A and B are shown apart, each in its own frame.
Chain A
Amino acid sequence: DGGITQSPKYLFRKEGQNVTLSCEQNLNHDAMYWYRQDPGQGLRLIYYSQIVNDFQKGDIAEGYSVSREKKESFPLTVTSAQKNPTAFYLCASSPRASSYNSPLHFGNGTRLTVT
C-alpha cells in the first residue's frame, strides 16, 4: 500500500534536547509538508519542500529545521530553540506543489512531549 509513514508515534524528550521526527512516503510525490497541530489552533505550516534539496519556511518555522535529500524523505528536527515544542506533528505530501487541485495526503502523526 502506498502512503506516508511517520515514526515514532509517540516521542518523549527532555527540554534542551534536539529531536528528529521521521517522515517517509512511497507515493512518488514531489511536494512534502510539515504541520503542527495544537488544540483549537488547526493546522499550522512549519516547512514545505517542492523538490529534492529545496525547502521553504512556513508560518511557524522558528525553532525547526528540515532536510530533503531524497524524494521519499522529509525529516523534521525540533531544536532546543523551539519554545513550546510539545504538540502533534503531521507530515503530508502532494503530487506536485503546483497542483492546486490535488489534496494533501497525511501521515498519522507523531505526538511529541517535551518535559
Chain B
Amino acid sequence: GENVEQHPSTLSVQEGDSAVIKCTYSDSASNYFPWYKQELGKGPQLIIDIRSNVGEKKDQRIAVTLNKTAKHFSLHITETQPEDSAVYFCAASVPGGSYIPTFGRGTSLIVHP
C-alpha cells in the first residue's frame, strides 16, 4: 500500500520567515495530495490540495508543489505569523477502490513572534 513520509517532525521559525514541509510517497498511482492544518484541541482542516495534473498551486501565503517524477510534494508558507503555529499533515490518495488517504506523521510548526 501507499506510504507517506513527512519531514521535519518539528519546525521552528521566526515570524516573517518562510517554512517548508516536505512529503514523499511510494505509490506512483497517487494523484491527489491534500494538506491539513490542525490547531491545538481541534480536528484537522484542509488548507490546500493539489492534483497530479498540476505542478504548483498557490493560495495567498501558502503554496504546494508536486514533483511526480521524484514522488514528493511540499508545503510552502511565506511571511509566517504566530497563528500559523499548528500541526500540519500531508496525505496522498490512490484513485479507485475504497479511497482511503494515507497521512504523513505530521509536522509541528512553531512560529516565534
Chain A hits for B6, CB < 8 A: 42
- A residues near B99, Cβ cutoff 8 Å: 31, 94, 97-100
Given A98-B98, A98-B99, A103:B41 Cβ within 8 A: no
Contact of B43 with A90 in the complex, beta carbons under 8 Å:
yes
- Assign chain B's interface to a size class: 20 to 34
Do A103 and B94 touch across chains, with their CB atoms under 8 A apart? no
With A101-B32, A103-B49 in contact, is A109–B100 under 8 Å at CB? Answer: no
Chain A hits for B9, CB < 8 A: 40
Closest to B47 in A: A103
Cross-chain contact B98 with A106 (CB below 8 angstroms)? no
- A residues near B (Cβ < 8 Å) are 4, 6, 31, 33, 40-43, 45, 48, 50, 56, 58, 90, 92, 94, 97-101, 103-109
Supply 18 A–B pairs (Cβ within 8 Å), ascending by A.
Answer: A40-B105, A40-B106, A42-B89, A42-B104, A43-B89, A43-B103, A43-B106, A45-B100, A48-B100, A50-B98, A56-B98, A98-B96, A98-B99, A100-B95, A100-B99, A104-B44, A104-B46, A109-B42
